[in-house]
Amino acid sequence: MSPTPAITISSLDYDRLAALLESCEHDHPVASRLEAELERADVVEPQAMPASVVTMNTSVRIRLGDGQEKLLTLVYPKDADSEQGRISVLAPIGAALLGLSVGQSMQWPTPSGHTELSVLEITYQPEAAGEFHR
């Protein structure tokens, strides 16, 4: 397994995700992994977020370990819609995406084992679009 890449999270996303985790059931299968990601992240103000980082509500093109490419938007659980490519941050791949930069890859446990995902391109990031309080 490859080393865990450094991740960056905005302070706004951090605060909202910490509140979300407080409301999760203690045995949620992804919540503890997401919490660990928040604890190891570099936290920056939204205005200082590099445009190459996956933040909440970012649309991103990824490649999975099997070579399949997908366009996904990372969202809060209430906004998730798999048919629209809107993946929850509490889904295994959603939690893995948070804070990654273009060019980074990460191994992540899934219900069927582990998968590697690579961030190929960010097609929309709220912070880069000047939307700091979405």
CB neighbourhood size of 47 (10 A): 10
Q: How confident is the model at residue 3 (pLDDT cuts 50, 70, 90)?
A: low
Q: Does domain 8-127 have CATH number 3.40.640.10?
A: no
CA distances in angstroms from 35 to 9, 20, 31, 99, 127, listed in the order given:
12, 10, 6, 13, 22
pLDDT tops 80 at residue 111: no
pLDDT tops 90 at residue 57: yes
pLDDT tens for each residue of 60-100: 999 988 899 999 999 999 999 989 999 999 998 899 999 99
pLDDT tens for each residue of 9-40: 999 999 999 999 988 877 788 888 898 889 99
d(CA 127, CA 134): 9
The whole-number pLDDT of residue 42 equals 94
